[in-house]
Amino acid sequence: MPAAGAAYVANGGLLDPLLVSADGHVAATKKAGHGVKGKYWTAADKAERQAAKESGGEDGRVLLFRKYKVKGSLLHPYRALICIRVVAVLLFFIWRIKHNKSDVMWFWTMSVVGDIWFGFSWLLNQLPKFNPVKTVPDLAALRQHCNLPDGTSTLPGIDVFVTTADPIDEPILYTMNCVLSILAVDYPVDRLSCYLSDDSGALILYEALVEVGKFAPLWVPFCRKYSIEPRAPESYFEHVVPPQAGKATQEFLHDFRRVELEYDEFKARLDNLADTIRKRSDVYNTMEAAEGYHKATWMANGTQWPGTWIDPTENHRKGHHAGIAKVVLGHPSCGHHHGSQLNAESSPSISAMDERLPMLVYVSREKNPSYNHNKKAGALNAQLRASALLSNGQLIINFDCDHYINNSQALRAAVCFMLDQRDGGNTAFVQFPQRFDNVDPTDRYGNHNRVFFDGTMLALNGLQGPSYIGTGCMFRRLALYGIDPPRCRPNNITPEANKFGNSTLFLDSVSKA
């Protein structure tokens, strides 16, 4: 495995807008000269950093991210070009209106309205690009600010929400890889929780999550020991070159082969889950058979599944089932635990690593045809309320089930913006760009959508900030509750029951968030 440069180690590979997924990509990017301090960007916060350095920072805090802007030699000509184009477009509209030679008035009117609309849309797309700003987290400063001498951390708690709607349309393997990449992220395990929302209410997703709980105690320590990137096993084993003797240590070779073998068995168990559940249910249904008895779907512990059944019936079909919340992995205790969950065949080197895992919870909200479910927004609301009672993390980040975290430092990077002394307390959310696997090297069809993520979204960063795109976004919990930022609210939060519901436990959690 190639060694990363010192700058990469300090910033977790986050020097560029693209969150890289392998050291090779980092090296290629730097070699091309597209780094932050390249010929296109210049520091935009020199005065702020100098003032913070001289005063020691407000409240003893250092600045946790850097700002860069496009150099004036490039930006000013671009602004002038946009202004010239605006004038040209206005002159064109004036000419179109004054020279009406059409015999079909309604057709001419529609064409002019269309031109004006396209011109207005173009203008809205160009205005944010007047001041593009790149922000780069300083992970070394975050460690200095949050790490305590005793090895603990003051980082805020994070609840990670993963949403899925159907185990058929959204393959289970990719959903479980998303969860595994979250469990293996570089963040204090006692301050991280993962919630999987299953809108289908299917037993197969819950039991797949149980399988994750069995495989994670091997995968997560392996990632921690060797700084594996990315930490979604499917992507890692697909892109990594298998290590060969002489090019890697015997210890790593042993661990790699062990984990790869266990992952293949893990995938086989996921593939067999549907048959396993059906056969088990057939056995229990045969034992319980009676006149008018509906064939139920049974869990491994011999109880009926409260969600959707394989043979649908009233109150047990997709779109009409009870609410479910099951803790798959409990909240980790304080301190470090070594080798308590791995069996004797596991590598001794991995067993020596901290095996604690973040809390993992399965959530399936109640559904009834008599009321609107609000699709993904409703699922996120259910996760928000469930997590408030179980972990109540100050920060929340959501992912679609077919995504994964391709950089283990990503959560720390977002926290840098939330805790920065300049305006961190008033930051509602931090949006990550999306990247895609298996795209051809030249990206001839624009599958990475860089124009949007590295152009429009980066340009919006120079205004109030980018928009929420539905996934990969870290929120402040209080912002989702609709509570004003610190500068606009009194010191004490007194939630009203009619705003947050009638749950006393939930109301108590609001004031502690």
- Summarised one tens digit per residue, pLDDT across range 188-238 is 999 999 999 999 999 999 999 999 999 999 999 999 999 999 999 999 998
| Per-residue model confidence (pLDDT) at position 350 | 60
Model confidence at 43: pLDDT above 60: yes
Phi then psi for residue 386, to 5 deg, are -65, -45
Q: What is the pLDDT, as a whole number, of residue 500?
A: 64
Residue 374 confidence (pLDDT): 92
Residue 400 is labelled as binding a ligand: yes
Spatial contact of 342 and 218, defined as CB atoms under 8 Å apart: yes
The segment with the largest mean pLDDT, out of 36-40, 52-56, 69-73, 169-173, is 169-173
CB 448 within 8 A of CB 117: no
Number of H helices, E strands in the chain: 18, 12
Q: Between helices 105-126 and 72-98, what is the axis angle to 10°?
A: 170
Q: Strands 395-400 and 473-476: what pairing?
A: antiparallel
| 170 marked ligand binding residue | yes
Task: Please say if the pLDDT value at position 242 is more than 60.
Answer: yes
> What are the percentages of helix, strand and coil residues in the chain, rounded to 5?
45, 15, 40
pLDDT band at 23 (very low <50, low <70, confident <90, very high): very low
Residue closest to 413 by CA, chosen among 401, 405, 403: 405
Task: Name the residue ranges covered by the structural domains of the chain.
Answer: 72-130, 155-414
- Is 199 marked within a binding site? yes
Q: Indicate the pTM of the whole model.
A: 0.85
- Which contiguous run of DSSP H or E holds residue 361? strand 359-364
Q: pLDDT tens digits for 429-475? A: 999 998 888 888 787 877 778 888 888 888 888 888 888 999 999 99
Residue 375 assigned to a binding site: yes
Under 8 Å between Cβ of 370 and 133: no
pLDDT score recorded for residue 425: 85
Q: Is the pLDDT of residue 3 over 70?
A: no
Q: Where are the beta strands (DSSP E) in 90-191?
A: 133-137, 158-164
What does the alpha-carbon distance between residue 458 and residue 474 come to, in Å, rounded to a whole number? 17
Using alpha carbons only, what angle is made at residue 138 by residues 357 and 425, rounded to the nearest 5 degrees? 80
pLDDT tens digit sequence for 399-417: 999 999 999 999 999 999 9
Q: What would the mean pLDDT of 122-133 be, rounded to a whole number?
A: 86
Is residue 502 very low, low, confident or very high in pLDDT (cuts 50, 70, 90)? low
pLDDT, residue 103, reads 75
Whether residue 19 has pLDDT greater than 60: no
